[in-house]
Structure 1
Amino acid sequence: MPISERSGAPSTPGAEHVGLAIARSLERHGVDRVFTVPGESYLAVLDGLYDTAIHNVVCRQEGGAAYMADAYGRATGSVGVAMVTRGPGAANAFVAVHTAWQDAAPLVLFVGLIPAPDRDREAFQEFDPRAWFGSQAKRVFVLDAPERASEVVAEAFHAARSGRQGPVIVGLPEDIVASGFAGAIVDPYPVAEGAVSPDQLAALEEQLAQARRPLVFMTGEGWDAESVATLQLAAERLELPVMADWHATWRIATSSPAYIGQSAFGGPPHAVRALGEADLVVCVGGGLTDTATDSYRVAHAPGSRTVVLSGDAALRGHHGRVDEHLLATPRVAVQALAQLAARTTPEASAPAAAHDANGSAPRAAWSTELRADFLASRAVLAPSAPAGVASMTRLTARIADLFPDPIIAMGAGNHGAWGALFDSTSSPSELAPRNGSMGYSIPGATAAALAHPHRNVLALAGDGEFLMNGQELATAVQEGAAFLAVVMDNGQFGTIRIHQEREYPGRVSGTQVTNPSFAGLAAAYGAHAEEVSSDDEIEGAVTRALAAVASGQVALVHVHVDPAVLLPE
């Protein structure tokens, strides 16, 4: 009997229960992988997955599972799906919910709950999902009506993908998901992508034509490779410099003459100057946050205008003025820019006011100067490291030579500065939390390797960051996810040490750590392992590690660095 015709009879193993309805609904939404830590509270959903083609990636800790789901959603341009159990499991997953909330990443987290009759009795692992997640999720559902199971899944996915994307929680009471299902499997709800009207397009065209120092700020999720390529071509033709958000998943190629790098807290001077001097800022995909504006300290030039093209009607997180807000997803927004690029060029359209007295176009000079500054910011030196340590710059330079165009996964920490030295020609190019969360590198790289098995994938981790979710190497080995991990060991929480030296110089406190052998840990998990303690060990270690990755293994390089070198030399 079809699942939509079942009665509400109690479930038996293999029967068409609510858990199976949820699994079938995930299939209907195009989900091919879920990331889980099993729990008795949602056994019926695990049973339902057994009868689908959805692959269950079994993880080692709920934070790692939810991070993997978040990264998988970003890497594929879809919705990441994680499943965890009640109480402690939900608490462990909360870190990824906060990350997805602040980063506007689409994530659906299914959380097993106590049986409905046991509520408000301080039952084993009881908690209130709405109270816990209400301020950090777009919606929090609790499935209390078995027949609505598929409908709730559809509503959750729609909420995660629409407007400003983000996390959605679906609470699954243990007794409800084990009961019989009498409803119907619901198709996905369409998501509005917005539009740019002819009048709005004409106004944007006029503003671009008048601008002498325009800047495109590329941000947010909801991009795909085609949209990235469309923006790159339009920007190059219109001579528009493009700055990417810090830790942007999707960005144009670093080789593009339009690309001028990423913004960040205390970012490169040319990035700060670009925002401060631009007479027109066009934000595509979202707004200017505190990260992009260096904690709201960047002041816009007098008379500067800001146009935001995003799907978020509330413009949540945007800082500064807004002269025009066009409700459009990145895909729709870049199509509008492509229309302008197809019918005009700066030389043909720019009025006399946009040219100097000699007839040259200041826009071209502005864009060229920013591009040159970006290239100069990446031209770091690599002095030989002292005895007993190795140069992180030399190591990453060698990896960049032999392992081109990687998807780089990393969590928060000053080790991330070395990620900016890699060239990227394909999108997605980076998986990293913009909320400054640690522990993302190994789960993120695992997700990236599963999502894009034919791409090079690099996990860039600090010693403190690695130990927050390094156990997911076991998941990577189990899943056959092949990637290279580099662990930068400087025996400290380096970013906090930088702040500490600035605020309380000479008073190091609470930032130093004693580390294990990361190579030994990796080997114990079944990964290929290398340890580097001098520059002359770099070549052999990198060559062997990359050979292991090419053969389908995870490989880890544990590199001992000088604690005094906190940024690329």
Structure 2
Amino acid sequence: MISAGHAIVRSLEQHGIDRVYTVPGESFLDVLDGLHDSSIQTVVCRHEGGAAYMAEAEGKLTDLPGVAMVTRGPGAANAHVGLHTAWQDSTAMVLFVGLIPFEHREKEAFQEFDPKAWFQTGAKRVMVLDHAERASEVVAEALFSARSGRPGPVVVGLPEDIIQQQVSPELHPQIPIATGGMTVSDWKELKGALLEAEKPLFVFGGNDWSRQAAEDFTGWLEAHELPAAAEWRCEGTVPFSSPSYIGPLGYGRPKHSGRILDEADLMVFVGTVPGDVITGGFTARQDWDKRNFLVTIDPGLRGRSGPVTHQIVAKPDVFVRDLLRIDLPVKDSWSSWRERLRAKQVEFSTPPEPAASGKAGMDAVMGHLIPRLPEDCMVTFGAGEHTNWAHRYFPTHGYARMISARNGSMGYSVPSAVAASLRHPERLVVSIAGDGEFLMNGQELATAAQYGANPLIIVADNREYGTIRTHQERDYPGRISGTQLKNPDFAGLARAYGGHGACVEENGELGPALDEALEAVRGGSFAVIHVVVSQRQKAY
């Protein structure tokens, strides 16, 4: 016999989970004890929000759910931000929450809360382990629910006394995931629509791809000289350098891309749907005379707006498998359409020559950074105007090379960079952070130091919450309120946490600062470059 807490750990191992992110609590001590002798790496974080963000990023980086473990009450409340990110970003994630003992319920016990009341509307499923013998089954169900259909977060409550009870060591088998696929009629409908179209456009998105499917999809698009755009913050599935890649759709999009939505006579959305951000607040492509094919495993089409010509119920991998069997003659109109869109994207995404002097600016940062990047580099960021430079210029050459929060969540940049660096220690991970955003979870650099993560963090310090000020200037001109910041020495903070830190105020200092930071990263340390920039800089 083993304890239910140990059965939970063994079940996670059986499902291939090799890392969990946690802030420990007395409510799930038996699970922590099970992790002691486990093959699973336990990453101890500094804040439950950071742990949840890391688990959410892990769900984007792998084909398994990311896993976080936190304690009851305040711990669960702090982790809620990661759940919202996973819900809106459709990321497979499981959050285990320690709970008060079963016998103490409904007595306003210390840190008591109702997990179903808190999380039911923002998670795919909320389960509470009330019967110890079901511990392994609940783990299997949670991991299945997080991955099945449209991926998302699942919450599992673990009463402190239940997980200490003895159960059989027999583990529940893994539950297979249905992936869908094109039916014969789907295949014929799509082929016919493509043959009729003069200006077709594919849009890719979501976190449910494999690298092989992304490569096959890119090859098929290039062979047929067809264009593809990225859902907001999903760049890389079709590489930055591909002649078929024509840029991102969403906030901060190139001006020409807004017109593309209504100009295309056929749009095929793969792994995503035309939602709020893509359609500019449900305004573009709302005419039901437009032809839209939606490829998603979610039969409910949650988040969709505008017309639906045909839905194909499939995950991206199996859709691409079936798409490869569609061989079409390349139309001259396809080639000219793609070339026109691609030319605009190349012009838009080519970084400017960095200024050799003057006050430091983000254009110069990107101009110095891009030539120094290896092809397999990755980028992470959260929310704020500083992200626009990453959207515009950062070269993403593969699936899951851009890890960001599509729910616009601040504080995501550093935790996601730590998770990405742990998952891919052989790659350079760059995070573009704002000053306000960095201060929300920058303490996770201590986690990076403890576990050997070595991302390069570039902090754009404009001493304000810039996005909100932009809205204020538009709606309340000349009345700036509640957006200005007084910041610490971010380079000094980096050194205090055990990494490399440098502060840059002039463009001429950027090249040497980047070289020194990259040398530190290659040596196994994380690095922070604190770039002091002027207010009101714009990437577009």
Which TM-score band applies after superposition, normalised by the shorter structure?
over 0.9
Seen in structure 2, the aligned counterparts of structure 1 residues 81 and 117 have a Cα distance that, compared at 3 Å, is: same
Seen in structure 2, the aligned counterparts of structure 1 residues 266 and 302 have a Cα distance that, compared at 3 Å, is: farther
The one-letter code of the counterpart of 1:436 is G
Q: Distance in 1 between matches of 2:195 and 2:506?
A: 54
The one-letter code of the counterpart of 1:515 is N
Give the structure 2 partner of residue 503 of structure 1. Answer: 475
Q: CA deviation at 1:384?
A: 4.2
1:5-54 CA deviation, whole Å, 9 max, x = no partner? x2xxxxxxxxx211110000000110000000000000000001112100
Give the structure 2 partner of residue 167 of structure 1. Answer: 153
- Decide which of 423, 426, 437 is 2:395's aligned counterpart: 423
Q: Give the 3-state SS of the residue equivalent to 1:282 in structure 2.
A: strand
The one-letter code of the counterpart of 1:375 is V
- Of stretches 265-274 and 464-473 in structure 1, the one that deviates more from structure 2 is 265-274
| Contact map agreement 2:404 2:413 (CA 8 A) in 1 | yes
Q: Distance in 1 between matches of 2:275 and 2:427?
A: 31
The one-letter code of the counterpart of 1:450 is L
The one-letter code of the counterpart of 2:370 is A
| Contact map agreement 1:27 1:54 (CA 8 A) in 2 | yes
Q: Distance in 2 between matches of 1:509 and 1:38?
A: 38
The one-letter code of the counterpart of 2:187 is L
1:439-498 CA deviation, whole Å, 9 max, x = no partner? 011100111111111111001100001001000000011110111000000000111111
| Contact map agreement 1:249 1:432 (CA 8 A) in 2 | no
Q: CA deviation at 1:380?
A: 5.1
Give the structure 2 partner of residue 398 of structure 1. Answer: 368
**Identity among equivalent pairs (%):** 48
Q: CA deviation at 1:236?
A: 1.0
Q: Distance in 1 between matches of 2:36 and 2:418?
A: 22
Give the structure 2 partner of residue 25 of structure 1. Answer: 11
Give the structure 1 partner of residue 256 of structure 2. Answer: 270
Q: Structure 1: which 5+ residue stretches go unaligned?
A: 1-5, 7-15, 348-360
Q: 1:90 and 2:62 equivalent?
A: no
Q: Give the 3-state SS of the residue equivalent to 2:121 in structure 1.
A: coil
Q: Distance in 2 between matches of 1:484 and 1:77?
A: 25
Q: Give the 3-state SS of the residue equivalent to 1:90 in structure 2.
A: helix
Q: CA deviation at 1:567?
A: 2.4
Give the structure 2 partner of residue 410 of structure 1. Answer: 381
- Decide which of 173, 176, 185 is 2:171's aligned counterpart: 185
Seen in structure 2, the aligned counterparts of structure 1 residues 498 and 202 have a Cα distance that, compared at 3 Å, is: same
1:344-392 CA deviation, whole Å, 9 max, x = no partner? 3324xxxxxxxxxxxxx222111111111111222354574985x3021
Q: Distance in 1 between matches of 2:242 and 2:521?
A: 29
- Decide which of 345, 352, 360 is 2:329's aligned counterpart: 345
Mapping of residues 488-527 of structure 1, within 5 Å = 488-527=460-499
CA-atom RMSD, angstroms? 1.4
Mapping of residues 16-165 of structure 1, within 5 Å = 16-165=2-151
Q: Distance in 2 between matches of 1:382 and 1:337?
A: 41
- Decide which of 405, 423, 429 is 1:433's aligned counterpart: 405
| Contact map agreement 2:458 2:531 (CA 8 A) in 1 | yes
Q: 1:317 and 2:303 equivalent?
A: yes
| Contact map agreement 1:237 1:345 (CA 8 A) in 2 | no
Q: Distance in 1 between matches of 2:461 and 2:236?
A: 29
The one-letter code of the counterpart of 2:513 is A
Q: Distance in 2 between matches of 1:539 and 1:532?
A: 10
Q: Distance in 2 between matches of 1:384 and 1:459?
A: 22
| Contact map agreement 1:221 1:249 (CA 8 A) in 2 | no
Give the structure 2 partner of residue 379 of structure 1. Answer: 350
Q: Distance in 1 between matches of 2:235 and 2:350?
A: 23
The one-letter code of the counterpart of 2:364 is R
- Decide which of 304, 328, 339 is 1:368's aligned counterpart: 339
| Contact map agreement 1:252 1:259 (CA 8 A) in 2 | yes
Q: Distance in 1 between matches of 2:353 and 2:279?
A: 30
| Contact map agreement 1:108 1:157 (CA 8 A) in 2 | yes
Q: CA deviation at 1:564?
A: 2.3
Q: Give the 3-state SS of the residue equivalent to 1:260 in structure 2.
A: strand
1:54-99 CA deviation, whole Å, 9 max, x = no partner? 0000000000001001101111232100000000000000000000
Q: Distance in 1 between matches of 2:13 and 2:517?
A: 37
Give the structure 2 partner of residue 212 of structure 1. Answer: 198
Q: Distance in 2 between matches of 1:464 and 1:243?
A: 30
Give the structure 2 partner of residue 545 of structure 1. Answer: 517
Give the structure 1 partner of residue 246 of structure 2. Answer: 260
Q: CA deviation at 1:436?
A: 0.4
| Contact map agreement 1:409 1:460 (CA 8 A) in 2 | yes
Q: CA deviation at 1:289?
A: 1.1
The one-letter code of the counterpart of 1:408 is V
Q: Distance in 1 between matches of 2:296 and 2:123?
A: 19
Q: Distance in 1 between matches of 2:470 and 2:347?
A: 23
Q: Structure 2: which 5+ residue stretches go unaligned?
A: none
| Contact map agreement 2:70 2:96 (CA 8 A) in 1 | yes
Seen in structure 2, the aligned counterparts of structure 1 residues 285 and 339 have a Cα distance that, compared at 3 Å, is: same
Q: Give the 3-state SS of the residue equivalent to 2:511 in structure 1.
A: helix
The one-letter code of the counterpart of 1:21 is A
Q: Distance in 2 between matches of 1:370 and 1:501?
A: 32
The one-letter code of the counterpart of 2:379 is I
Seen in structure 2, the aligned counterparts of structure 1 residues 34 and 130 have a Cα distance that, compared at 3 Å, is: same
Q: 1:469 and 2:441 equivalent?
A: yes
**Normalised TM-score (structure 2):** 0.97
Give the structure 1 partner of residue 531 of structure 2. Answer: 559
Q: Distance in 2 between matches of 1:300 and 1:127?
A: 43
Mapping of residues 281-320 of structure 1, within 5 Å = 281-299=267-285, 303-320=289-306
Q: From the CA coordinates, give the structure whose radius of gyration is larger.
A: 1
Q: Distance in 2 between matches of 1:250 and 1:191?
A: 25
Mapping of residues 450-489 of structure 1, within 5 Å = 450-489=422-461
Mapping of residues 438-453 of structure 1, within 5 Å = 438-453=410-425
Q: CA deviation at 1:302?
A: 7.3
1:478-534 CA deviation, whole Å, 9 max, x = no partner? 110111000000000111111111111111111110000000111000010111010
| Contact map agreement 1:147 1:183 (CA 8 A) in 2 | no
Aligned length: 538
Q: 1:224 and 2:210 equivalent?
A: yes
| Contact map agreement 1:111 1:171 (CA 8 A) in 2 | yes
Q: Distance in 2 between matches of 1:314 and 1:250?
A: 27
